[in-house]
Amino acid sequence: MIFLKFNLCVIVYETILYVTVATVNDLHDLKYFDRRKADSEAFLMPSDFAMASELGDNDWQDSDDWALYSSGKFEGDMDITEGDILELTNTYPIVDSEDTYPQNNVLYNAVRNRHQLWPNSRIPYAMSNQYSSYSRSVIAAAMEEYTQHTCIRWVPRSVEDYDYIYIMPDRGCYSMVGKTGGKQTVSLGTGCIQKGIIMHELMHAVGFFHEQSRTDRDNHITVLWENIQPGMQGQFEKYDHGIIDSLGADYDYDSIMHYGPRAFSGNGQPTLVPKIPIAIGQRLHFSTLDIFKINKLYNCPLRVIGTKRTAVSSSPKINESQKLTNASIHLIITDSCKNIRSDCDELAVHGWCTGNPRWMKHYCPKSCKLCSNLTVQPCVDQRPDCFTLMQNGHCTISNVFMHAFCSKSCDFCKSVLRNETVATLLSTKSAIITTETTTSKSNR
């Protein structure tokens, strides 16, 4: 009897010890998320992007990507199976013409299947309300990198969006590759709230595999199989060119999608060694080729970076082209003046009317106010939480943002400029108006 009581005591002690350890981990995670809250869908707020802008480069210097290498996920952080990979072999090429890319380039790491791309570079998202304000700001900072360098737009999911990503603090970091249909999870759990890791996972969702999975990997990297954890050798497979596409780019050691040198190491020694003396596995920023490949995959238009215009060409180099001015942009005098793309309003808000005026005149004249018969747009909100944002004062403190996404709730629709005023401004070479201009309350 005494022996049985002693065993029972040991069991209780071990149980208490386990709960204590779990509580310590949970307390550490509370800086980033609180899984005790009932999970529900939420969206980033203007204040999250404002906080993101205050995060400096020093916030990412000590980044650690250990959380990317989970033994329970394909290649550590992809929520797919080998069967899913095999299904991707029967796909259509991203390009229509065989000579769009150099014929001797057999370099791959982006999805080739058209239906895995997000239409119009628009990726609807929702996120768990369990994330802290700090985590929300880091996620916003990662999304802003896409806005700054590509035409990818992360937009709050609307009721019409059947396909969308759901960002939640599951166990570890992982994502599906490309658009898979319906609600697809991007997990940002313990160890994942770092801007570079979030950019990495979102790039999976955009449609990219790991760089070291390219068909030509062995020409650039040596895999030290003897140092890999037992049973993890499958995490270092290469893909056939029928599955992934390099978009004509060279092997990129600096890619944010490249494994680190000790990925899945079983003895602390390197598992990947570059064949030239160069670092791999950085999680601080997009590489030049990362930006090139995203823009190439989604056929992004010309971009403005700083004071220079950049173009997506058949070469992985970003080429400066002639700067355009509004002087050469005229009103379209036609009854059929309309937007060709569904994301024109979003592009206009992000400055494309002034940065890429000729391209926007062709694809988005209505959003850039280039129609001579301009009429007042329907007064609608673009986000489901506009009323809440209005109640919290964002119509005033986030005026431009709310003009773009919450005009109805803020009662901004009554302030659209008259047609003749817009025409006068444009004809005198003034800056193209990308947001509605409000009148003072005294003039209403």
201 carries an active-site annotation: yes
Is 258 annotated as ligand-binding?
A: no
What is the DSSP code (8-state) at residue 328?
Answer: G
100 vs 247, 291, 315, CA distance in Å? 10, 19, 11
Say if residues 179 and 163 touch (Cβ distance below 8 Å): yes
Helix (H, G, I), strand (E, B) or coil at 305: strand
Are 81 and 145 within 8 A, CB to CB? no
The reply to whether 204 sits in an annotated binding site is: yes
Helix, strand or coil, per DSSP, at residue 303: strand
Provide the 3-class DSSP secondary structure of residue 251: coil
C-beta separation of 436 from 416 below 8 A: yes
Other Cβ atoms less than 10 A from the Cβ of 149: the count is 21
Q: Please tell me whether residue 228 adopts helix, strand or coil conformation.
A: strand
Active-site annotation holder among 75, 87, 144, 201: 201
Is residue 200 marked as binding? yes
First-residue to last-residue Cα distance in the chain: 88
Q: Which segments within 91-190 are labelled E, that is strand?
A: 110-111, 122-128, 153-156, 164-168, 173-175, 183-188
The DSSP H or E segment spanning 247 is none
Residue reference for tokens 């259509």? 92
Q: What is the CA radius of gyration of the chain?
A: 25
Contact 112, 92 (CB under 8 A): yes
| Binding-site sequence positions | 200, 204, 210
| Binding-site sequence positions for Zn(2+) | 200, 204, 210
User: Could you give the residue numbers annotated as active site?
Assistant: 201
